[in-house]
Structure 1
Amino acid sequence: MDLLEKISSLAKRRGFIYPGSEIYGGLAGFYDYGPLGTELKFNIKQSWWRDVVQLRDDVVGVSSAIIMNPKVWEASGHVGGFSDLLVECKKCHERFKADDFEGVCSSCGGRELTEPRKFNTMFKTFVGPAEDSASTAYLRPETAGGIFVNFKNIIDTMRVKIPFGVAQIGKAFRNEINPKDFVFRTREFEQMEVEYFVKPGDDEKAFKDWVKNRLNWYEGIGLKNVKPREQSPEERAHYSKATVDIEYKFPFGMQEIEGVANRGDFDLKAHEKGSGKDLKYFDEEAKEKYLPYVIEPSAGVERIMLALLCEAYTEEKERVVLKLHPTLAPYKVAVFPLLANKPKLVGLARKICEDLKKDFVVAWDERGNIGKRYYSQDEIGTPFCVTVDFDSLEQGDVTVRDRDSTKQERIKIADLKTYFQEKIS
């Protein structure tokens, strides 16, 4: 069993990730996130939001609609050009993205393919009671469009000055020809994006600053196998002045988890033309109007989550450990009574658990022996376990066990909050 299989097995067994609508046979490219996966995704998004929005004075947030006026996607070029090249195996009729085909059909071993044809990857739907061309709409293929169409609203309501950014976290949808590699390539996913607006001429420095900022964030959350790769002019989108892919070394190779692009004024110019509205910014200091350039860091939540699971998954002699960064772990602390049939131990442990819940996400477990409980928490990444024993009743302290080292120490109950705040921050 390779690493990706081990991770997908653990993710299902321990409540991180389930196949979507599994009792009906599932649906390729769609996943549901269980209790622990939901917590992990929330922690990733919260860490990102704090880093790019709350700790800065120059970035604000927005949450735009998933379904927007289809003219948005016509203006951006998605309706006309958001396509992949599709090929089909002549033997078994399996379909592939042309770029991903490696010479042999993975389903039947066939080598003969149809000629490539364009396939638009946007999901189409209808708004209102009629299903006709006049009511056609799309599930958004990216979150950036909702930022650009609100550029003028934010300028008018938030008293922001260039340079400034707008951040958004939200669902996006792409009808991938061949979803693969677990949650790396799916048809429904979450993006974390910033559109950072700068004065033309200041874009190159801002671009470098954002690349550095994003790499620092990945280092801070414990991802080590991350490398920036600058796209060649042949790889870049036609409107991009520069693009850096931040790649992670997955079991299936180096793959992008985030892209940082200098998009110039392409987007605002396209939406100004499409909407007929003036989207130029008036610079009070320079006394001039211009269309800002845009720096766009765009990250995939599920791809980051998968990278974190790959990085954290550790097999030791007697246990499997998820060595997640403490701030990202679904549970920060687990609390156990030594014995579940001793009311005094259970009562004190419950009180400690409830007190810690005021400041941390805490798990409770009273089943089985202590060793099994430790290993169970190791496997889901809980950094610390607190055991309440008979000495706790007399001396007012507990055993705290560290996930990574398995070392144990006695800590006063009254000091637990401070202890964990120092360890987890």
Structure 2
Amino acid sequence: MSQLPATSLQDIIGHAKEYGFVFPSSEIYDGLQAVYDYGQNGVELKNNLKAAWWKAMTQLNDNIVGIDASIFMHPLTWKASGHVDGFNDPMIDNKDSKKRYRADQLLEGKAEQYEAEGQPEKAKALLAEMGRLLSAEDLNGVRELIITENIKCAVSGTTNWTEVRQFNLMFSTQVGSVAEDSSLIYLRPETAQGIFVNFLNVQKSGRMKVPFGIAQIGKAFRNEIVARQFIFRMREFEQMEMQFFIRPGTEMAWYETWKETRLKFHKAIGLPAEKLKFHDHEKLAHYANAAVDIEYEFPFGFREMEGIHSRTDFDLKNHQELSKKKQQYFDSELDENGKPFGNYIPYVVETSVGADRLFLATFCNAYTVETVGEGENEKQRTFLKLHPALAPFKAAVLPLVKKDGLAEKAQAIANSLKSSFRTTYDDGAAIGKRYTRQDLIGTPFCIVIDYQTMEDDTVTIRHRDTMEQERVAISELKEKIGYEVAVERILEAI
């Protein structure tokens, strides 16, 4: 048995659509660019990922609670956060092809080319210069750097570039029943601000003591200049964020703690260590004094999956100034001089992971094509090697044949397991084809009911990854499979 070379993104996209994981949105109308729908199996996998993250945050940590804030927020929220004035991407067009690009992504692509050519120092220098220019808002310098590096348009093959302009990524709309009286509001571009404006509500109602965290899962919206690479970069996406409120001066220790904790989570759900790495930011966001990405090696290279940021007191301080309402915490704990820490605006360490990017990383990692058998019996086998706790279905119940009472027995077994974990029943086609169907959607266990079952109440469990089979009593199924597919198997590895 041997595993074949890595697959392409097109293989992933094709499999996701064919087996009910991800569909292009409104496809019958030729779709909408960079918007996707999760199918019947995709929504289960995504929900399982979100549940694992939620439990890892709120169940494993006594000092982290969750909220669900509104998508619509007062427009001054985004003024205070800096999004109105500074939530921009550098945009550049090629005059010959009329194709639009993000200037920073062009330069990052060139840096990746240098890396692939064995010139890591050249790549590092290019990224550092790009970071310096963007930090200084020297857009003409960014254009000159693109030209100096001889970066060409992928369509026209020319370097005939326009000037670089800033493009605000927020979607705007109006609220109000009459257009003339309506107010401009925004679809939230991130979920973090819903946490910040509820900081004191949660702290006081929950009697929370610093350090404590607030977690949230929710939709966000960004009018991306270049949306690409399947569900990696979309205009409507879902974030899983946790803001951890701490004493000023302790932020770097907590920053390091959350870096390692979040890396453990990704390994616990089955992502291999060699496909994960930290990438420190060359250019820090306006709110951060430290920032790092956890990157995963997608078919198109290492890309950001999660960000850990030390946001200082930027957000709460700005909301306090603009709202004129104090966002302070009274700390009654004693310092080294025996005095209470008193009132202060907490600092924040943020962990922010894209649910869609985590889904894509998990799906890419699980997609497995291997050669089985030898000689004339050699063939390719495709399956999704998902962590059992994440699989859309945990078990499939399959009668060997539909006669002699086997189907009824199998149906009864399936019904007895449904209250414990998600189970499917399948009696169509030969048993080998049914195994293949379950492999392709990642079902970890197939339970086969045969004639021996009718005699001694035992069944055969077929394991997805190894294709090995074992005989088990029906009375043991719920406990045996239930243990393997429980989210606790993920949590205990963090």
Fold match (TM-score > 0.5) = yes
Deviations 1:104-148 (A, max 9, x none): 333444442221111110011110124469511100000001000
Pair 1:211 & 2:259 matched: yes
Pairing partner for 2:42 from 25, 37, 41: 37
Amino acid at match of 1:362: T
Q: What is the match of residue 331 of structure 1?
A: 393
Q: 2:19 touches 2:441 (CA, 8 Å); kept in 1?
A: yes
Structure with a larger share of its residues in helix: 2
Deviations 1:54-87 (A, max 9, x none): 2211000000000111110011110111011112
Pair 1:98 & 2:103 matched: yes
Q: CA separation in 1, counterparts of 2:27 and 2:299?
A: 25
Other structure's SS at 2:216 match: strand
Amino acid at match of 1:303: R
Pairing partner for 1:246 from 280, 291, 294: 294
User: RMSD in angstroms over aligned alpha carbons?
Assistant: 1.5
Amino acid at match of 2:363: L
Other structure's SS at 2:429 match: coil
- Shifted more, 160-169 versus 88-97: the winner is 88-97
Pair 1:406 & 2:467 matched: yes
Q: Return the offset for 1:201.
A: 1.6
Q: 2:240 touches 2:353 (CA, 8 Å); kept in 1?
A: yes
Q: CA separation in 1, counterparts of 2:465 and 2:211?
A: 43
Amino acid at match of 2:381: R
Pairing partner for 2:444 from 356, 374, 383: 383
Amino acid at match of 2:305: I
Q: Return the offset for 1:328.
A: 0.7
Q: Return the offset for 1:30.
A: 0.3
Q: Return the offset for 1:38.
A: 0.1
Pairing partner for 1:50 from 44, 52, 55: 55
Q: What is the match of residue 374 of structure 2?
A: none
Amino acid at match of 1:90: K
Q: Return the offset for 1:343.
A: 5.7
Q: What is the match of residue 230 of structure 1?
A: 280
Pair 1:193 & 2:241 matched: yes
Q: Return the offset for 1:253.
A: 1.1
Q: What is the match of residue 87 of structure 1?
A: 92
Deviations 1:146-169 (A, max 9, x none): 000001111221110000000000
Q: CA separation in 1, counterparts of 2:323 and 2:484?
A: 52
Q: CA separation in 2, counterparts of 1:324 and 1:169?
A: 22
Residues 264-303 of structure 1 mapped to structure 2, 5 A cutoff: 264-285=312-333, 286=340, 288-303=342-357
Q: CA separation in 1, counterparts of 2:94 and 2:179?
A: 33
Other structure's SS at 1:316 match: strand
The runs of at least 4 consecutive aligned structure 1 residues that moved more than 4 Å come to none
Q: 1:3 touches 1:310 (CA, 8 Å); kept in 2?
A: no
Q: What is the match of residue 415 of structure 2?
A: 354
Q: CA separation in 1, counterparts of 2:280 and 2:97?
A: 38
Deviations 1:367-415 (A, max 9, x none): 1111011011111111000011111111101110000000001110011
Amino acid at match of 1:302: D
Q: CA separation in 2, counterparts of 1:267 and 1:334?
A: 49
Q: CA separation in 1, counterparts of 2:93 and 2:181?
A: 28
Q: What is the match of residue 305 of structure 1?
A: 359
Pair 1:112 & 2:174 matched: no
Other structure's SS at 1:420 match: helix
Q: What is the match of residue 144 of structure 2?
A: none
Q: Return the offset for 1:287.
A: 5.2
Amino acid at match of 1:350: Q
Q: What is the match of residue 3 of structure 2?
A: none
Amino acid at match of 1:293: Y
Pair 1:183 & 2:231 matched: yes
Q: What is the match of residue 383 of structure 2?
A: 321
Q: CA separation in 1, counterparts of 2:368 and 2:36?
A: 24
Q: Return the offset for 1:264.
A: 0.6
Q: 1:60 touches 1:167 (CA, 8 Å); kept in 2?
A: yes
Q: Return the offset for 1:92.
A: 3.2
> Structure 1: any 5+ residue segments left out of the alignment?
none
Q: What is the match of residue 211 of structure 2?
A: 163
Deviations 1:328-374 (A, max 9, x none): 1111101111113x161111111111111111111221111110110
Amino acid at match of 2:29: Y
The size of the alignment, in residue pairs, is 422
- Shifted more, 119-128 versus 89-98: the winner is 89-98
Q: CA separation in 2, counterparts of 1:22 and 1:269?
A: 45
Q: 1:95 touches 1:177 (CA, 8 Å); kept in 2?
A: yes
Q: CA separation in 2, counterparts of 1:339 and 1:136?
A: 63
Other structure's SS at 2:405 match: helix
Q: CA separation in 1, counterparts of 2:480 and 2:287?
A: 51
Q: CA separation in 1, counterparts of 2:366 and 2:96?
A: 41
Q: What is the match of residue 20 of structure 1?
A: 25
Q: 2:176 touches 2:182 (CA, 8 Å); kept in 1?
A: no
